[in-house]
A and B are shown apart, each in its own frame.
Chain A
Amino acid sequence: MKLKTILGTLASASLLATGAIAADLTIVHGSIGRDQEVLRSQLDKFEAATDHTVTIVSMPESTTDQFGQYKLWLSAESDDIDVYRMDVIWAPQLAAHFVDLTPHVADIVGDFVPAAIESQTVDGKLVALPMFLGAPALYYRSDLLEKYGEEVPTTWQGLTETAQKIMDGERAAGNDDMWGFVWQGAAYEGLTCDAQEWVHSSGGGRIVELDGSIQINNPEAAAALDLAASWVGTITPEGVLNYKEEDARGVFQSGNAVFMRNWNYAFALAAGDDSPVKGKFGVSILPAGEGGQSTATLGGWHLGVTKYSNNQEAAIELVRFLNNYENQKERAIITSRPPTVSAVYLDPDVAAEQEFIPLWKPVVDNALPRPSAATLRKYNEVSSAFWTAVHNTLSGNGTGTENLAKLETELTRLRGPRW
């Protein structure tokens, strides 16, 4: 840290003499799929256009792990990192450590998807500028559905039956590694997303309602969890209890699963030239419970500039650059992540290269946020309590009803007089 400061000071001192200030910036992100390579190439362009240099610090895949480290850096008021790529749920918890971007992006903020901007605004402060969004899809093997004469399922019950049928058929034909449905079941933030979709789409409401009330202990939610628990060991490998995004993609992309629930990034990779399932799969909205509506959890990653950065101006310049139209368009095409600038959805090049993106606009617009706004600083504990209840149900440690009753007590206890 000290060395960097000294070098930075020296560099700016020497450049002050020539009139231009070059900053040495650091950006941190948790790379998944092709994020790292796209980011690096865009940073190279930034470096060429300005005199700044940018270093990438790469973090583990798990959101939960990233948060712990970021919290440490921010609490220590570290100037090591200038730009953080933040999960959509973090804004309320970390707002105090970031620069209010409102005045710095006033000229472009109107181009962004309003809901995305709103999700990053805490008490009128724009904590981060949205980089890309996420709304998961049901990935299905179109070749297998056709082979068995099945339609893309629209209900969880339908998915269970179709997956079982195709899996049994494929296994009887000699493919012993075939599974029906893979998703993210490890005890971490990803499970909160998956389970919130099952519950909400089955009419079980939210983990914590918008007004802060706790109504998660209901029969619809319990039934949704019990159904998911019935998948483990039947259509879903038991190992799913420790799967994150990339584990699920590994199984699906190697051709060993009929269905997968995953985020948008998996599309570009599964459709890549080296993918065994290239041309054999499609995407659809996630199924719903009987009589319910399909629900997709709102995801996404956004760029914030920390208050402790010594190069705030250059860092803001970088954030604006990475989120400009061209870069959003490039990311949409290469990584199949839904962009945050509305106009990119209508771009003919994007539509031609990545059919997923324009198709996904309505899904992104209607995506369900996690209760981070209602639970504020206690969100991580709420999420942890929720994924623990779900994980216990999935691993056969109590039924949905029992675990949700415990969860209700736990959440009530966590809330205390107010969130």
Chain B
Amino acid sequence: MAGKTAQSRLSRNRTRSAWLFLAPMLVTLFVVAAWPLGRTVWFSFTDASLDLISQARWVGIRNYLEWVDWGDGTGQYYGLLADPRWWRSVWNTVRFAVVSVSFETLFGLVIALVLNQSFRGRGLVRAAVLIPWAIPTIVSAKMWAWMMHDQFGILNDMFMRLGLISEPVAWTASPDTAMIAILIVDIWKTTPFMALLILAGLQMVPQDIYEAAKLDGVPPTRVFRKITLPLIMPAVLVAVVFRALDALRVFDIVYVLTPNTDATRTMSVYARENLFDFDQFAYGSAASTLLFLVIALITISFILATRMDLEGNTT
């Protein structure tokens, strides 16, 4: 009896210390994440403008959807949900996220498999692979903008010499290639990140399984499909979620390479445009709120669909 009380007191103490240690993080999270998010949601239901932010008044869901009657029996829907430009940016963002994350996962996996083998100078190669990831996005985007320049760009020059194209391509200018240009830069930049996370997963795979497979004479493709892939899957899925979150709020690459065009405007670019360039702070807040909801929805569905193990319960 006495022992039990002592134990529960101990466990109560432990719980209390745990909260104590968690408190700074919770406070920080509240200040830098929950509070701004809450403010943004609140602004999206007001008529706030950047200059008169303190005088914001509640206007209901007008920024999201509103039926304006012209007074002659006809009318028109206003608001974000009725704005074709918004839906275009949602579509751009989703398309960007799906394509970029797929390629990055694929390339990352291949690179990780190579880097997982032992060969001379592996450390050097592993470090070198990270360089694109280490360059600030603004710098790499600007660098690629020059490389893709239709007149002075090195990319066109190389492709012309190789005979791949007959005349210079205006990579970032033409609506047909603008999205491709952005995807190229993003895949180049972020593949190392995927490779690194997948490599970490690969190194967790116990070597004795491979030895056993080798003794049994299992062919390498089968080893990959039946052993490697299932074992690194949790790591890959976590990496994919991370990247997908990042890709869905992509801003900097688009902003530097092709700002303001319908072909590549993403949700974040749309929100910023309304928040700061236009005098539409509330409308931009509504866009930010929807951006948050869209990302949350996609992430939750992805986690549910892949039955990802976030609790770490599997043995």
Which residues does A use to contact B, with CB under 8 Å?
Answer: 62, 64-65, 67-68, 71-72, 74-75, 93, 96-97, 177, 185-188, 237-243, 247, 250-251, 256, 377-378, 380-381, 384, 387-388, 391-392, 395, 397, 413
Contacts and interface: CB of A to CB of B under 8 A. Distances in A.
A235 B306 CA distance: 53
A377 B169 CA distance: 38
Given A186-B173, A384-B260, A395-B175, 9 more contacts: A71-B50, A185-B173, A239-B149, A239-B172, A243-B173, A256-B151, A378-B279, A391-B261, A397-B175
Interface string B142-177: 000000011110000000000000001110111100
Contacts of A185: 173
**Which 6 residue pairs of A and B lie closest in terms of their CB atoms, listed nearest first?**
A239-B150, A239-B170, A242-B173, A241-B173, A238-B170, A187-B260
Nearest to A382: B278
B78 A75 contact: no
Contacts of B174: 238, 241, 395
B177 to A, nearest CB: 9
14 contacts: A71-B277, A74-B51, A186-B173, A186-B260, A187-B260, A237-B150, A237-B151, A237-B170, A239-B150, A247-B149, A378-B279, A387-B260, A397-B262, A413-B76
A68 B50 contact: no
A239 B259 CA distance: 14
A234 to B, nearest CB: 12
Contacts of B149: 239, 247
B279 A242 contact: no
B277 A242 contact: no
Interface of B: 50-51, 53, 76, 78, 149-152, 168-170, 172-175, 258-263, 272-273, 276-280
B260 A64 contact: yes
Contacts of A239: 149-151, 168, 170, 172-173
Nearest to A185: B173
A15 B172 CA distance: 54
Mostly, the B contact residues are loop
A229 to B, nearest CB: 13
Contact of A250 (B78, B152, B263, B272): B152
A53 B291 CA distance: 44
Contacts of A238: 150, 169-170, 173-174
A380 B174 CA distance: 24
A242 B278 contact: no
Given A395-B174, A397-B175, A72 B152 contact: no
A237 to B, nearest CB: 6
A47 to B, nearest CB: 32
B279 A380 contact: yes
A26 to B, nearest CB: 21
B94 to A, nearest CB: 20
Contacts of A256: 151
Most buried by B among A68, A187, A242, A250: A242
Nearest to A387: B260
Nearest to A256: B151
A251 B262 contact: no
A78 to B, nearest CB: 13
Given A96-B51, A237-B150, A239-B150, A68 B277 contact: yes
A96 B52 CA distance: 11
Contacts of B276: 68, 71-72
A72 B280 CA distance: 13
Contacts of B150: 237-239
Nearest to B175: A395
B152 A381 contact: no
A256 B172 CA distance: 20
B173 A240 contact: yes
A237 B151 CA distance: 8
A388 B173 contact: no
Nearest to A188: B260
